[in-house]
Structure 1
């Protein structure tokens, strides 16, 4: 007997796996080998066609050094409509997506940039985040972040 069909939550988890793998510049085949899967099974996980087992999700989290809860952040509501079979889920163009993008950029900057560059980038990302979310009018002259 087959398990429950994949739903929007599985697509969300798959997107997060795909994003981590892409940011790490790791091929699907390389990640699949590291966690003991076929590349086609990993592809199905990333597309949200198949549910990810708890064991595989734990292995993926360990490869990327993230807590398993990372895959459940901003999970869609129960009953959200799943994508059509074989469709690659697309990120929603909403306030949460822009904020998530800003947070991801800041995390990457913290890991790879010196303090002065991190501060400049934080100001820029904050201005972009506010402009994309239309929480305040974008003011080029007052968003430079330079203090002198």
Structure 2
């Protein structure tokens, strides 16, 4: 049976990998494992050891704590806020595209989106 923490950590690995635009194969090569192991981590089928999580965090450019954000420590359950929007492939593509825009233009786009959402 999958543990909720392992599932959450796996989702965070997948989301971050997607955000920076690398494949499971590329991540696996940089960490020194087979891509099938990355698949198992991302689905929560296998637990990620502390040292492996450290290596993954280095490759993905985030602190180890990133993988535990959004986790309720008392129940070891993931806090759901309006569903898991980042599980949606289109949402991930939108966020990745957004961060590919130069910062000054991105700021103007953000301001525009905020105005449009307030008007809706």
Q: TM-score range by the shorter chain?
A: 0.7 to 0.9
Query: Per chain length, whose mean CA-contact separation is higher, i.e. which structure has more relative contact order (CA < 8 Å, sep 6+)?
Result: 2
Structure 2 CA distance for partners of 1:114 and 1:79, relative to 1, 3 Å: closer
RMSD between aligned alpha carbons? Answer: 3.2
Aligned mates of 1:43, 1:31 — CA distance in 2:
11
Please tell me whether the aligned partners of residues 9 and 76 of structure 1 are also in contact (alpha carbons under 8 angstroms): no
Structure 1 residue runs of 5 or longer lacking an equivalent are 82-91, 132-137, 141-148
Query: Structure 1 pair 30/75, CA: closer, same or farther in 2 (3 Å)?
Result: same
The normalised TM-score by structure 1 is 0.60
| 1:113 is aligned to 2:102 | yes
Aligned 1:107-146 pairs, distance under 5 A: 109=99, 112-115=101-104, 117-126=105-114, 138-140=118-120
The CA distance in 2 between the partners of 1:125 and 1:49, in whole Å, is: 38
In the comparison of the two structures, how many residue pairs are matched?
Answer: 111
Q: For 1:12 and 1:124, how far apart are their aligned partners in 2?
A: 32
Moved segments of 4+, more than 4 Å? 95-98
Counterpart secondary structure, 2:71: coil
Whether 2:15 is the aligned partner of 1:19: answer yes
Structure 2: tracts of 5 or more residues without a match: none
Deviations, residues 55-80 of structure 1 (Å, cap 9, x unaligned): 11100110121111111111145254
1:50-102 CA-to-partner distances (Å, cap 9, x unmatched) read 11111111001101211111111111452549xxxxxxxxxx5617858xx7x
- Normalized per residue, the structure richer in helix is 2
C-alpha displacement of 1:126: 3.6
Q: Which residue in 2 is equivalent to 1:66?
A: 62
